[in-house]
Amino acid sequence: MDLTLKVWRQKNRKDKGRIETYLIKGVSKDASFLEMMDMLNNQLITEDIDPIAFDHDCREGICGSCSMFINGQAHGPERSITTCQLHMRSFKDGQTIYIEPWRSTAFPVIKDLVVDRSSFDRIQQSGGYISVNTSGNTPDANSTPVRKVDADKSFDAATCIGCGACVATCKNSSAMLFVAAKVSQYSYLPQGKVERKERVVNMVEQMDKESFGNCSNTGACEIECPKDISIDYIANLNKEFLLAKNTKK
């Protein structure tokens, strides 16, 4: 496959940034999108051009670091996958592909396609934990019964990998789906009840401090989420927040 790549290049946070055009030839349809980016960077290095900076780690759809906006879609045209799981057979020979970073005030560009997502870390640090007594013997796993429906909801919420696709695809740059998943994975389990009220209030307040936008329930976040996190969790987040606010002393 021969492709025309329109790639966002930006030296640092202060640089204005621009779209650069690159031609790449002989790309296998079975190559992953990141392998294609590796090929492009090898080509740029031989041409004495600074390679394109982009995030990646596991390349197995687990870590959530491979964040790219591809032809106007978070993680590309396929559903329920990350960029590293996207293959070039999803594109056509001779196609032009636009590759950009996440666009959000809360995710400032560090360089090229790499953005700073430490705002997500600060949200989790503000309340995403549980108190556990670790003294004595290890408790029996069955000593605290959990309804299967609640366990399933908790595990589904916990599949969120914090990639930021929900923020990038939302017209308001809202982080509600991310925060909802992180709140819900604890709220459905008895272990998460101790800090239940403080957690949701602290995490929502930190989300607002990070300059994320408000949710307007368009559902774009759910569509682009590589782990299919449901917007039903946003309803649960709102319920938890209102409960905490109405009973907080």
Q: Is the pLDDT of residue 45 over 70?
A: yes
More confident residue, 144 or 70: 70
Q: Per-residue pLDDT averaged across 204-226, rounded?
A: 96
Domain segments of the chain as ranges: 3-110, 117-247
Pairing state between β 73-74 and 18-24: unpaired
Task: Decide if 75 contacts 226 (C-beta within 8 A).
Answer: yes
C-alpha 189/C-alpha 157 separation (Å) is: 12
**Which CATH number is 117-247 given?**
1.10.1060.10
Label the pairing between strands 109-111 and 114-115. Answer: antiparallel
Q: What is the Cα–Cα distance from 33 to 170, expressed in whole angstroms?
A: 23
pTM higher than 0.75, yes or no? yes
Name the packing angle between helices 176-187 and 232-247 (round to 10°).
70
Q: What is the second-level CATH architecture of the domain 3-110?
A: Roll (3.10)
Share of the chain above pLDDT 70, in %: 97
Tens of pLDDT, residue by residue over 66-79, are: 999 999 999 999 99
Is pLDDT at 56 greater than 70 in this prediction?
A: yes
